[in-house]
Structures are given as C-alpha cells and as structure tokens.
Amino acid sequence: MLLETDLKGEDPKCREDGTLIDYHRGGFAKLWTVLNMFMLLGYFFFQLVMITLYSIMGHANKIGWFSQSCWLILAIFPIPSIMLYNKKGKKLTDCLTQWIQLEKDLIGGKDNGATADGGKSKPVSTIFSGDSSPPEPMEYDTFRRGLYCYYAQSKTFRKLLYMYAVIVFTTAGVVAIHNLLTPKFPAYFTCWIHVEDPATFQLLVYASCAYEFYMVSLCIMHTGSFEIMMMACVRSVRHCIESLSNLNSVSMERRAVCGRKKPKNDTLDVATIAENIEKRDATQYGSQQEMQVEEATDNYRRVEFVVENINDCFSGTFLAHQTMYLSMMCILIFVFLRSSDTNSLITTIFFSTYSIFFTLRICCLLPFLGKMGEDSEIFIYSWLEEIPKLLRGGKPYETAEVKLHACRVLGINCGDYYDIQGSTVLTFFSIVTTYLIILLQL
C-alpha cells in the first residue's frame, strides 16, 4: 500500500515540503500481501505444470493447447508488477515522491478552482468540472499560476477504478461459470478430482469456482493497480506541462485560439484566454517576460527528470504487460475462430468477454499515454512562437530560443527503445492482425 505522509523534522529522506511516498506493510496487511503473492506464484506454477503435462502426454490437441495457454498467460500477468514492487520498491517510492513534489510545486496543493474576475462571473472551466463549485474564488492570475488538479485527478481515478472493477468482476465471473460448466477442463483443479459421490464432487466444483474467481480477480487487479498508478502519473505530468504554459503567455491556449493544433486538455475558457492575451501583449514586455520564460524552461527540465524516472521504473513492466496482452489477444481470437463451429454458448461468451475487455483496455491506455508527447510538443513550439512577441529580439531572445530547442519531446517508453504515441494503438492491432493471420495458417 502506498501512503503519502507529511513528516516533520530533519529527516534526510523527506523532500522539500516533507512529503514522502513509502510502502506501508505491517501486521495483517503484510501477512495478506505475502499470502497473495505466494498464491499467485502457486497459481502460475500450477498452470505451467498442467500445460506441460498435457503437452508431453499428448492429451491436448492444437486448439486445446492454445486454449489452455490463455490461463497460463493470465497467471503470468502479476509477475512483472510483483518483481517491480519487490526489487525496485525504493526506486519506485522515490519516483512517486518526486512526482508528488513536482505537482505541488508547479500546480499547487490548495486551490480547487477559480473565477475569471474574483467571483463576479461564472467559474473558469478546468480540465474536468468538479462536483461542486470552488469553496473560495481566486483572482485569475493566481489561478493561472496555481492551477490545482484535484478534480481532474479524482475524476480520472474514479473512472479508471470503475472500468477496472467492471473488467475484474465480469472476467472473473465468466471464468468461474466456465469452471462450473466444464469442470474437466485441464486449467482447473477439478480435472484431477475423481469422486464417486455426485454431491461431494459438486461441492468441490463450487470450491474450485470460488478459487478461480479469486485468483483471476487477483491477477487482473495486480495488473490494473499498476496501470492506474501509471496513468495517474501521466495525467499529472500532462497537467504540469499545461500549468507551465500558463506561467506567462498561456501559449498552448493561444495556439488553440489562433486556429492551430488544439491540445486535448483545455484548461481555461477560450474567450477569457484570448482577452487576457490581448491585454498582456499590449502592456507587458521586457525583463519580467525573460524571467518567466526562463522559469518555464527550467521547470520543464524538472518535468523531463520526473518522466525519465517514471520510464526507468515502469518501462520494463509495461513492456512485459503489452507483450502478454498481445499474445492473449492473438490466442483468444485464434481459438474463437478455429472452434466457432463446436463452441458452446459459455465458451463463446468466455472468449468474447476476454477479447472485448482487452480491446477496451488497450484502446483506453495507449492513446492516453501517447498524448504526453503531443502536449509537450505543443508546449515547446507554441513557446517558440511566443518569445518573439515577448522578448523582441536581442540576446535574451537568443538565449530563450536555445533553451527551448534543448527541451525534449516527452513520452512514455515501452521497453528501452519504443515510445508510446497516439497512433500506437493502431500499430498494436496491426501486429495482432499479422500474428493472427500467421496462426490461422498453422
């Protein structure tokens, strides 16, 4: 369990304002965590032994072998995240601490919303509208520099939590029903049970269904918790990039107002943005603008550092998950197409449910992560368009231009060599299609 604590004193582990992210494992929680980890490892070895035995003994045909491999892949899913939490726990907590500190420094920790003119007009729109109006109105400029993403983060987290909850309970329920109707399937414990008494056998089948429901839920929740944490980090970093664009020129919004590429995360009302831009351009220039451009680029370097640490912690586990999703999608569709004439209703529902939920997860996750590159690219080039109007030539302009050109376009890595982009989901499905065609030729 990850906790955010406010520590006081001179503890060297504390970051600037005393915020520290750390694991809390003690008492019953620690016992339950260790027990679940051993159950997951035991489930993986059981599936591995079963598919190996059936392959050696020749009991499984080609379709049966691929069908059984779905359970093996599902059992492998939690292993990369278990390795991350156990081997890179300290690095992970340091990374999350840096992320939280960055969010507090660039966005702020107390502001929940604002109105454009101190409460006289309707509230300025944020990324997401909160469930209620802000408790205290702020001035527009204060809001621009202290934009707080509480509502955005809260709504994003709830949406992801509900989506994964539906995936967990529906998928686990379908597996349990499949176990109930086909107890001799080699992926279940009941395939080894030979009891003469039908009532006893049925009781053991019910117990096996409950066990499968719990284990499948645990496997998907382990993967889902990792992905929710990763998506929360990306949402926050994208929001930090937005807040940097508002330090002086509201440049990302100006780019949208002028009809250029519009960022997906509109933070402020467009009409208000345009009005404030014109007022600022008519009255402000000089050293203040130079300092604000320098502040924006320096803080962007902090964002780069945090993103680099996020990639260092998450990229390996993320690559492992994507590889397993790719394998699972190919196998599910292959088995469904190859055995479509002989499939029972529950088998059809089983493979259809898995395919739909994996597709839903891929279509939500990959485009979401790919938007970071778009936001950072818009930030850099919109500032490059803005600085001629702010600094109006000379050495400050040249210095600012060099700093902006030195800023890297950010992105989330899948492994060491591939950056997630908005079009990655299309690449993923093209790979699935290619491998599926190869499998169908077997």
Contact in structure between 169 and 129 (CB atoms under 8 Å): no
- Cα 52 to its chain centre, rounded Å, is 34
Mean pLDDT for 206-221 is 90
Predicted local distance difference test score (pLDDT) of residue 390: 65
Least confident of 7-11, 28-32, 393-397, 415-419: 7-11
User: The tokens of 110 are what?
Assistant: 């107390």
Q: Can you list the alpha helix ranges (DSSP code H) found in 77-123?
A: 78-87, 89-106
Mean pLDDT of 382-399: 71
356/371 Cα distance (integer angstroms)? 23
The pLDDT of residue 437 is 79
- What's the whole-number mean pLDDT along residues 391-398? 68
Cβ–Cβ under 8 Å, residues 297 and 400: yes
Each residue's pLDDT tens digit, 36-95:
888 888 888 988 888 888 878 766 677 778 878 888 888 888 888 888 888 877 788 888
Give the pLDDT band of residue 394 (cuts 50, 70, 90): low
Note the pLDDT tens digit of each residue in 214-238. 998 988 888 888 888 888 888 888 8
Q: What pLDDT does residue 109 have?
A: 44
pLDDT, average across residues 319-339: 82
From the number of C-beta atoms within 10 Å of its C-beta (0-12, 13-18, 19+), residue 6 rates as exposed
3-state secondary structure (DSSP) of residue 245: helix
Report the share of the chain in percent with pLDDT over 70. 68
Single-letter residue type at 404: L
Higher model confidence: residue 255 or residue 81?
81
For residue 125, which of 258, 261, 253, 279 has the smallest C-alpha distance? 253
Whether 125 has a pLDDT exceeding 80, the answer reads no
- Rounded distance between C-alpha atoms, residue 396 and residue 60, angstroms: 72
Residue the block writes with tokens 């889902």? 224
146-186: per-residue pLDDT in tens?
344 556 667 777 888 888 888 888 888 888 888 888 888 88
Which amino acid makes up residue 305? F
Per-residue pLDDT at 210: 92
Please state which of the ranges 58-67, 167-176, 253-262, 321-330 shows the lowest mean pLDDT: 253-262
> What is the distance, to the nearest Å, from the Cα of residue 428 to the centroid of all Cα atoms in its chain?
17
**pLDDT computed for residue 121 by the predictor:** 42
- Percent of the chain clearing pLDDT 90 (strictly above): 2
Beta bridge partners of 139: 117
**Of the spans 106-110, 111-115, 122-126, 250-254, which averages the highest pLDDT?**
106-110
SS (H, E, C) 289-346: HHHHHHHHHHHHHHHHHHHHHHHHHHHHHHHHHHHHHHHHHHHHHHHHHHCCCCCCHH
Backbone angles phi, psi at 132, to 5 degrees: -140, 165
Structure tokens, 387: 């600085």
Is 50 exceeded by the pLDDT of residue 123? Answer: no
pLDDT digits (tens, 9 = 90+) for 409-432: 888 888 777 777 777 777 777 887
Single out the residue of 348, 334, 250 nearest to residue 292, CA to CA. 250
How high is the pLDDT of residue 214?
92
Tell me the pLDDT band of 213, cut-offs 50, 70 and 90: very high
Cβ proximity of 304 and 89 under 8 Å: no
CB 109 within 8 A of CB 346: no
pLDDT score of 18: 44
Q: What is the mean pLDDT of the chain?
A: 71
SS3 content of the chain, % helix, strand, coil (to 5): 70, 5, 25
Which single residue is written with the structure tokens 């729109």? 125
157: which 2 tokens? 């987290």
- Per residue in 265-293, pLDDT tens? 444 444 555 555 555 554 444 556 667 77
